Structure 1
């Protein structure tokens, strides 16, 4: 029954693509999207509010379970703005803690990754288990009425989406699977729990994080930026969008030639459960606020966009794939990642100049079209997460997309 429902859903998607390709106007009743105020990209007070009320309380990708394959293995992530240790405990559970000793705040680890039986602060020697419990304090006699149980490491919410590790600074956050809602069912065919980490690399760009993130929420720019790459095989005019609650979304762009498959992946292991629809179209999932995942049967790039400040962004590009042997990787991966990087650089190339223009008097606001509605959906969610009453009147976006959000 589930397979039948999926098949019917894909048939509906194909019909939507045909309608999108042939339409002369946006759908009847779709509103003209109000301008997005410039302040949301350049105003220091607004960006500080965004960081405090949204980024610090969102589900954010931290890494892959391969990075903590064995009990005692750990890695450190700083992308969230606070250093967080992700560790596999001796019992096999994956946990996350702030890299902060409960004595005077010194770091517990200094390297990016490692393996240990516990954590020892290098400043004064306080010791903790991999579960975060304080077990030893130097000169404990000098701490009157000291309760070890009250000084465990500060934990960070940590949950899995298959083999993907997400963390959240909000202890009261909705569970991850519930939070992504209808997307969870759509991702089942990808068997994320079985996929291995292939590669991960970082790029830093001088622009606000939304300048780059916006580019990955639409395909309106393909004919300009990707004229000699993806525009050659993707039909942007037939692209369809699904808006989900909590700011999440999906975009599907068909290939110009029906049934086209990237010849550079021929012979690579495939995820056996991937549908023909997913295999022969370009699908991109977005987990709010900064995680973009365009799957293919032979491997999936995972993109994250991290704010390093008002005008600085880190882009992390990782790959996961089925049946990957890290000791003996498929030789096709080198070319595949190089081709992906070429496309990525096309998107990054103008970002510093765009930021410069946004900060000038010529930019008062952003005018979006129907194809770019995922960007507007992102901003509507931002105001909801901040709290509309806390968003300055001049920086607010008008909520207009609720009738177009799919809750099923």
Structure 2
């Protein structure tokens, strides 16, 4: 059951939707959002600052605990920009290490996933436990004053949000659950620790990663891009936004009809603790910088957007769901994922052409409206993480949204 605070929060959100639907102007006191400079999407110097100051120090989704089904299981991820091995130790803990032998940098593993009792470098045979400790060195007699304890694998911060595994290359990063702040309480009803991995696939697109991220932080585009799909049942004019600290946010878009139910999910197992508010509206959570999660009682897509360079992006789309049996999946999953993929392709279709435009002389910057404030919130946080003093003045965004950030 929901606690009283959550119920009152949902009542406030429903009232906010009614206000949004009926308003004739943005709220009193909301500022005209300054233009976001085009350089933030194309300038190599700025994108280098972005990589160093944000991507290399962010909490990033790595995978699901189902990918580590038993002690000794491991998988390799490169999405974070460098190869990292995530493993379940013999004691059952989940840990992560750079895929780098401490001898001469050879890879510990060469496959994408596997099971082992430890890691053995294929180049010179140095051996490590699944906890990262060096246990054997070939011809150790030839290494004078060699301290095994000083040559453990380089660990990567690894923490979980239920069954979802996140990594952070910054050893001093704030703990994940503290970092997402008020969002953590909202996610409790989803029972993320119980959800099983259903499917995961990826797509590569020729554009800067922010071109695609932008599209998933607003619904202003629904009537143009999704005319024959989600626009048929979503009321974008009643959408509400909650901006949280550290760049995180939530967007809730109501159905046009409160009694509408997705016919493609009828009869599928449901998360028993999902509230009526979540079940009858379309919520999208954003964990900064690149994780988007729009939950439904019968399953949750997990979207990540990864920079593969300055103008190429990988989109990873995964699904988690309650009571999923990988050996005997529910018969509706195949159609459901195909329908989701159709919507996803609608969002991806213009990205390469947008990239061409933002690189051209006709584009000086982005002019955002009130509905698109999550995008501006994203950029404000980027400058904070880089360090505003390090961002060239011509590429900065003015910090104007602080009064609209919720701390509970």
TM range (shorter): over 0.9
The whole-number CA distance in structure 2 between the counterparts of 1:311 and 1:282 is: 31
Structure 2 residue aligned with 1:8: 8
1:205 corresponds to 2:188? no
Structure 2 residue aligned with 1:292: 292
Structure 2 residue aligned with 1:116: 116
- Give SS of 2:301's match: strand
Structure 2 residue aligned with 1:142: 142
The whole-number CA distance in structure 1 between the counterparts of 2:380 and 2:25 is: 24
Structure 2 residue aligned with 1:57: 57
| Structure 1 position 69, deviation (Å) | 1.3
1:68 corresponds to 2:64? no
The whole-number CA distance in structure 2 between the counterparts of 1:10 and 1:404 is: 19
The whole-number CA distance in structure 1 between the counterparts of 2:369 and 2:64 is: 36
Structure 2 residue aligned with 1:31: 31
1:308 corresponds to 2:294? no
Deviations 1:219-267 (A, max 9, x none): 0000000000000000000000000000000000000011211011000
| Structure 1 position 5, deviation (Å) | 1.2
1:232 corresponds to 2:246? no
Structure 2 residue aligned with 1:276: 276
1:320 corresponds to 2:311? no
| Structure 1 position 95, deviation (Å) | 0.1
The whole-number CA distance in structure 2 between the counterparts of 1:207 and 1:190 is: 33
Deviations 1:5-35 (A, max 9, x none): 1111101000000000000000000000000
| Structure 1 position 392, deviation (Å) | 0.6
1:219 corresponds to 2:236? no
The whole-number CA distance in structure 2 between the counterparts of 1:176 and 1:375 is: 22
Deviations 1:184-212 (A, max 9, x none): 00000000000000000000000000000
1:351 corresponds to 2:365? no
| Structure 1 position 3, deviation (Å) | 1.6
Deviations 1:130-158 (A, max 9, x none): 00000000010111100000000000000
| Structure 1 position 164, deviation (Å) | 0.1
The whole-number CA distance in structure 1 between the counterparts of 2:366 and 2:56 is: 26
The whole-number CA distance in structure 2 between the counterparts of 1:156 and 1:163 is: 18
Unaligned stretches of 5+ residues in structure 2: none
Deviations 1:68-102 (A, max 9, x none): 01000000000000000000000000000000000
The whole-number CA distance in structure 1 between the counterparts of 2:172 and 2:178 is: 13
The whole-number CA distance in structure 1 between the counterparts of 2:350 and 2:142 is: 59
1:376 corresponds to 2:399? no
The whole-number CA distance in structure 1 between the counterparts of 2:75 and 2:233 is: 39
CA RMSD of aligned residues (A): 0.7
Q: Which runs of 4+ in 1 moved over 3 A?
A: none
- Give SS of 1:309's match: coil
Unaligned stretches of 5+ residues in structure 1: none
Q: Is the 8 A contact 2:34 2:367 kept in 1?
A: yes
TM-score, normalised relative to structure 1: 1.00
Alignment of 1:249-264 (within 5 A): 249-264=249-264
Q: Is the 8 A contact 2:2 2:275 kept in 1?
A: no
Structure 2 residue aligned with 1:160: 160
Alignment length (residue pairs) = 408
The whole-number CA distance in structure 2 between the counterparts of 1:186 and 1:127 is: 43
The whole-number CA distance in structure 1 between the counterparts of 2:261 and 2:81 is: 39
Structure 1 residue aligned with 2:386: 386
Deviations 1:254-293 (A, max 9, x none): 0001121101100000000000000000000000000000
- Give SS of 1:159's match: strand
| Structure 1 position 2, deviation (Å) | 5.6
